[in-house]
Amino acid sequence: MKRIESFEEYKSAYAESIANPDKFWGEIAESFSWKKKWDTVLSGTFADAKNRWFDGGELNITENLLDRHLAEKGNDVALIWEPNDHSVEYRKFTYTELHKEVCIAAEMLRSLGVKKGDRVCIYMSMVPELVFSVLACARIGAVHSVIFGGFSAKSIADRVDDAEADFVITMDGGLRGNKTIPLKSVVDDALTSTRKIKIVLVFNYLNLPTEKKEVDIDWNELKAEVVSANNYIKAGETLQSEDPLFILYTSGSTGKPKGVVHSTAGYMVWTAYTFLNVFQYEKGDIHFCTADIGWVTGHSYLIYGPLLNGSTSLMFEGIPTYPDAGRFWDIVAKHKVSIFYTAPTAIRSLMSAGDEFLERKDLSSLRILGSVGEPINEEAWNWYHDKIGKGNCPVVDTFWQTETGGVMISSLAGVTPSKPVFATLPMPGVLPVLLDDKGKEILENDLTGNLCFKQSWPSMIRTTYGDHERCILNYFSTYKNYYFTGDGAYRDENGMYRLAGRVDDVLNVSGHRIGTAEVENAINHTHGVIESAVVGYPHDIKGQGIYAFVICDAHAKSLNATQDSSKDANALQDSSKDVAQDASRDASQGFEQEMVYSITKTVSEQIGAIAKPDKIVIVNGLPKTRSGKIMRRILRKIAEGEFDAIGDTTTLLDPSVVQEIIYKTK
Ligand code: PRX
C-alpha cells in the first residue's frame, strides 16, 4: 500500500477514488494477503443498505495483521502494555510473540466449542489479554462484541441477549487509577437475567475473591493446558469478505443501543489505509491511542489499523490523571511515543490541570498528534498544538463514527492543509455532502447543513445486528440514497469541513455517545419518577454535560403538602407562617436530594457511571406541545442558561411550566 505523500497526490487519489472506486480500492486491496481473491470490488446500493465490498474474496484478518509480518517484522514490537501503576513492569510483545498469544487464545476458544460465526461478548479492562481475546475471536471467525468495562450489569445483559451470545470472556477485576473494578461480579450479576450462556472464560488478573459458577472456565488453567499440548499454531479460519468481524453497540436517538456490525475485508482495508495515511505512519513509529478498546477508536486505531501496518501500538491500562495529570506525558517520554491520539475531553482536562504537569517531560519523540470523538474547541486545539506538539507536530482532527469503522474526514498529517478546529477534507473514497432540512444538497460553500455521505466506502456499517430494517431506518432513510451521520457540519470557502455537533437526540459526553432517550429510560426506572427529559449543555471538560428535568410522583404529593401547610399557615400569625413555610421548603429540598441520589444510582445501574446526569432538577411539569411532544429546544436553552433565547412559548400546553423550570434551575 503506497502512502500519500503530497497534497497533489491526495488530490489525484481522491479524484480517482470517486470516479473509479473499483479500480482504486482493488489496487489497494492487492497489498493484503487473501486466501482467494475477490470477484467484485463494490456491489449493492444504499437503497437497501446492502453494499458489499470485495465479494467472493476469502481471508483471515489476523493473518494480515500477524502472520503477514512475521518474516520481516517478527522481532519488531507489536504491542506495548503500560500498566496502571508506575511500579509495575510494562510488557511488550513482538509480532512473533503476539502471534503466539493469539494462536493460544484462539485454541483456548476452539477447545471450548466456540465456532465461526458465534458471538463472543468480552467484558475486560485494558490488559493484553483483551487484545488476545479480540484477535483470537477474529482468528477463528467468531464475532467479537466488546463491552466497555464501565457499563453496568443491565447494559451487559442487554448486549449479551441482543447479540445472542453463548460465550463471555471476562476477568476478576481491572484497575483504573486508584480504583479496582470488580468485572467478574458485574458479569455474574448480568447473567442472572440473560439467555443461558455456555461458557464464561475468566482471566484471573488480580486474585480477587470471585464466585465460581458452573459455566466458568479459568483462563490461566486452560492456557496452561493448551500450551503444554503444544499444538496451537494454526492457520486462521477462512472467512468470506463480508463475514462479520465484530459487533459494537452504540447509542442512537432511540432508547436501545444498537449493535453496529462490521464485516471483515472492507474494515481491514479501511483501517489499514486510513491509519497509514492520516497518521503518516513510518517504520519505527510508536503509536499511542489512548482510547479504551471498549469503543470503536480502540478497535480501529489501537488494534486493527496499527497492527495491519506492522506498527507498534501502545495500550495503557490506566487513566490520564493517575497518579497525576502528567501520566500521559511520562508514557510518551518513557516509550518514545511518536504518534499520540486522544480525545478533546482528555486534552481539556489535562490543560485545566495546569502546565506544571508538563515541566521536565521529554515530549521530543512526538511527531503527530490526533484528536477524535468530539468537536475540539480552539483553546484546547492551541494548547495541544503549542504545549504538547511544541508547534512542530501536525494535529489531525479525525471525524468518524462507530458506524463508519474508520476516519472519514481528516487532514493527512503534514501532507494536506490543516486548519484549527476543522476536520478539513474527506479521505479518498469519502463523498461528503451537506443537505438542507428538505434533503436538498447544498452546493455552495461557507454554509452549514446535515452531513451525509453519498458513496459507499469499504468499512461502512453492514447492518444493525438482528434488525436490518433498523439500520435502514437509522442511517439511510432520513435522506434517500444518502448515509446520514446525524451530525451538522459547516463547509468553508475552501471546501473544508468543521463538525458542528449532533443534530439528533444524541449527546456526546467526554467523547462517548449517549442517547437522551436511553438516559430518560434509565431515569424513569427510579421509584417515584413519572417522567423525565434529558438534554445536553456545554461542559468545560466533557464537551457536553447531561441535564435532566424530572417529574416525580411523590414530589407532586409533597408539593401538595407544601401548599396545604402553607394554606394552614395563612391562618397563623405572620412569624409562625414563615416558620411553617421554611419547614415545608426544607422537607421538599430533602426529598429532592433523595430523588437526585436515587436517580443517579439508578442510571449507574441501568447504563453505567458514564451516563450519570451532571445536573438533575425536579420539576412539576415539562414544556409540552398540545400534542404532548416535549419541546427540548426550550429545555436546551434553559440548560444553557440562555433564558432570553427561549422564544415563543405560547404554543405550549401550559406555558407557565417554563417559568417554574427557570426558577428551579437558577
Ligand atoms: O458527533 C460526532 C462525534 O462523535 C460521533 C461518533 O461517536 P462514536 O460512534 O462513539 O465514535 C467516536 C469515535 C470515532 C459523531 O457522530 N465526533 C467524532 N469525531 C469527531 C466528532 N465530532 C467532531 N469532531 C470530530 N473529530
Q: Do residues 110 and 70 lie in contact, with contact meaning Cβ atoms separated by under 8 Å?
A: no
Indicate whether 454 pLDDT > 80.
Answer: yes
- 590 phi and psi, to 5 degrees? -60, -45
CB 423 near ligand 1, within 6 Å: yes
Report yes or no on 642 lying in a domain.
Answer: yes
Going by CA atoms, what residue is nearest to atom 13 of ligand 1? Answer: 373
Indicate whether 577 pLDDT > 80.
Answer: no
Distance (Å, rounded) from C-alpha 190 to C-alpha 158? 9
Pocket test residue of 274, 487, 502, 509 for ligand 1, highest count of atoms within 8 A of CB = 487
Distance (Å, rounded) from C-alpha 52 to C-alpha 45? 9
Query: What average pLDDT score do residues 84-90 get?
Result: 95
Distance (Å, rounded) from C-alpha 37 to C-alpha 30? 9
249: which strand partners? 259
Distance (Å, rounded) from C-alpha 639 to C-alpha 643? 9
Distance 343 CA to ligand 1 centre (A): 10
Quick one: pLDDT band at residue 564, thresholds 50, 70, 90? very low
Query: What average pLDDT score do residues 59-83 get?
Result: 98
User: Closest ligand 1 atom to the C-alpha of 398?
Assistant: 26
Distance 511 CA to ligand 1 centre (A): 7
Distance 99 CA to ligand 1 centre (A): 32
CB 592 near ligand 1, within 6 Å: no
pLDDT at 424: 98
Distance (Å, rounded) from C-alpha 503 to C-alpha 485? 9
- Lowest mean pLDDT: which of 184-198, 249-263, 266-280, 537-551? 249-263
Distance 591 CA to ligand 1 centre (A): 38
Question: Rounded to 5 degrees, what angle do the CA atoms 451, 457, 460 make?
Answer: 80
Classified as helix, coil or strand, 20 is coil
Going by CA atoms, what residue is nearest to atom 18 of ligand 1? Answer: 373
CB 170 near ligand 1, within 6 Å: no
Residues contacting residue 196 through CB under 8 Å, at least 6 positions apart: none
CB 294 near ligand 1, within 6 Å: no
Give the H or E element holding residue 347: helix 344-353
pLDDT at 576: 53
Indicate whether 569 pLDDT > 70.
Answer: no
Comparing C-alpha atoms, which of 236, 258, 239 is closest to residue 247? 258
Quick one: pLDDT band at residue 105, thresholds 50, 70, 90? very high
User: Closest ligand 1 atom to the C-alpha of 371?
Assistant: 26
Percent of the chain with pLDDT over 90: 90
CATH number of domain containing 636? 3.30.300.30
Judging by DSSP bridges, how do beta strands 512-515 and 506-509 pair with one another?
antiparallel
Report yes or no on 126 lying in a domain.
Answer: yes
CB 271 near ligand 1, within 6 Å: no
Quick one: pLDDT band at residue 398, thresholds 50, 70, 90? very high
Query: What average pLDDT score do residues 303-312 get?
Result: 98
Report yes or no on 496 lying in a domain.
Answer: no
Q: What is the pTM of this model?
A: 0.93
C-alpha dist (Å) from residue 192 to 148, 153, 186, 596, 607: 19, 9, 10, 28, 17
CB 502 near ligand 1, within 6 Å: yes
Residue length of the chain: 666
Amino acid at 575: S
Pocket test residue of 372, 404, 485, 516 for ligand 1, highest count of atoms within 8 A of CB = 372
Quick one: pLDDT band at residue 449, thresholds 50, 70, 90? very high
Query: What average pLDDT score do residues 573-581 get?
Result: 52
Total domains in the fold of the chain: 2
pLDDT at 525: 95
- Lowest mean pLDDT: which of 153-167, 287-301, 394-408, 642-656? 642-656
C-alpha dist (Å) from residue 105 to 99, 102, 245, 632: 10, 5, 17, 49
Going by CA atoms, what residue is nearest to atom 21 of ligand 1? Answer: 374
pLDDT at 571: 41
Distance (Å, rounded) from C-alpha 535 to C-alpha 634? 10
Query: What average pLDDT score do residues 477-503 get?
Result: 96
Indicate whether 567 pLDDT > 60.
Answer: no
CB 504 near ligand 1, within 6 Å: no
CB 38 near ligand 1, within 6 Å: no
User: Closest ligand 1 atom to the C-alpha of 486?
Assistant: 16
CB 450 near ligand 1, within 6 Å: no
Distance (Å, rounded) from C-alpha 6 to C-alpha 10? 6
Q: Do residues 620 and 556 lie in contact, with contact meaning Cβ atoms separated by under 8 Å?
A: yes
Q: Report which of residues 185 and 585 the model is more confident about.
A: 185
The three cell numbers locating residue 480? 434517500
CB 397 near ligand 1, within 6 Å: yes
Report yes or no on 644 lying in a domain.
Answer: yes
Distance 297 CA to ligand 1 centre (A): 10
Q: What is the dihedral of CA 316, 321, 322, 328, to 10 degrees?
A: 40
pLDDT at 530: 93
C-alpha dist (Å) from residue 430 to 29, 421, 529: 17, 20, 45
Distance 424 CA to ligand 1 centre (A): 14
CB 292 near ligand 1, within 6 Å: no
Classified as helix, coil or strand, 316 is strand
User: Closest ligand 1 atom to the C-alpha of 410?
Assistant: 26
Distance 251 CA to ligand 1 centre (A): 12
Indicate whether 580 pLDDT > 80.
Answer: no
CB 398 near ligand 1, within 6 Å: yes
CB 250 near ligand 1, within 6 Å: yes
- 145 phi and psi, to 5 degrees? -135, 95
Mean pLDDT, the chain, integer: 94
Distance (Å, rounded) from C-alpha 314 to C-alpha 295? 16
Indicate whether 593 pLDDT > 70.
Answer: yes
Give the single-character DSSP code of 4.
P
Going by CA atoms, what residue is nearest to atom 25 of ligand 1? Answer: 399
pLDDT at 254: 76
The three cell numbers locating residue 225? 493446558
| Long-range contacts at 558-564 (CB < 8 A, ≥ 24 apart) | 558/587, 558/588, 558/591, 559/588, 559/620, 561/587, 562/587, 562/588
Positions of E strands within 101-178: 119-123, 143-146, 167-171, 174-176
DSSP string of 556-611, one letter each residue: HHHHHHHHHHHHHHHTS-HHHHHHHHHHHHHHHHHHHHHHHHHHHHHHHHHTBGGG
CATH number of domain containing 213? 3.40.50.980
Judging by DSSP bridges, how do beta strands 143-146 and 119-123 pair with one another?
parallel
Indicate whether 623 pLDDT > 50.
Answer: yes
Report yes or no on 173 lying in a domain.
Answer: yes
Judging by DSSP bridges, how do beta strands 286-289 and 312-316 pair with one another?
parallel
Indicate whether 448 pLDDT > 80.
Answer: yes
Comparing C-alpha atoms, which of 263, 273, 272 is closest to residue 461? 263
Domain finish residue from 213, 237, 261? 237
Give the single-character DSSP code of 212.
P
pLDDT at 557: 54
55: which strand partners? 40
Domain finish residue from 195, 210, 237? 237
Question: Rounded to 5 degrees, what angle do the CA atoms 201, 203, 208 make?
Answer: 120
Distance (Å, rounded) from C-alpha 275 to C-alpha 281? 7
Q: Is the peptide bond before 432 cis (omega within 30 degrees of 0)?
A: no
Burial 311-340 (b: 16+ CB within 10 A, else e): bbbbbbbbbbbbeebbbbbbbbbebebbbb
How many CA within 13 A on the CB side of residue 181? 24
Comparing C-alpha atoms, which of 185, 149, 147 is closest to residue 609? 149
Quick one: pLDDT band at residue 566, thresholds 50, 70, 90? very low
CB 258 near ligand 1, within 6 Å: no
Report yes or no on 81 lying in a domain.
Answer: no
Tell me the per-residue pLDDT of 11-42, one tens digit each, with 9 for 90 and over: 999 999 999 999 999 999 999 999 999 999 99
Tell me the per-residue pLDDT of 320-330, one tens digit each, with 9 for 90 and over: 999 999 999 99
Report yes or no on 451 lying in a domain.
Answer: no
Distance (Å, rounded) from C-alpha 447 to C-alpha 440? 13
Domain finish residue from 237, 252, 279? 237
Report yes or no on 364 lying in a domain.
Answer: no
CB 300 near ligand 1, within 6 Å: no
Quick one: pLDDT band at residue 256, thresholds 50, 70, 90? confident
Comparing C-alpha atoms, which of 41, 49, 30 is closest to residue 476? 49
pLDDT at 606: 95
Quick one: pLDDT band at residue 95, thresholds 50, 70, 90? very high
Going by CA atoms, what residue is nearest to atom 26 of ligand 1? Answer: 399
Q: Print the domain residue range for 617.
A: 506-665
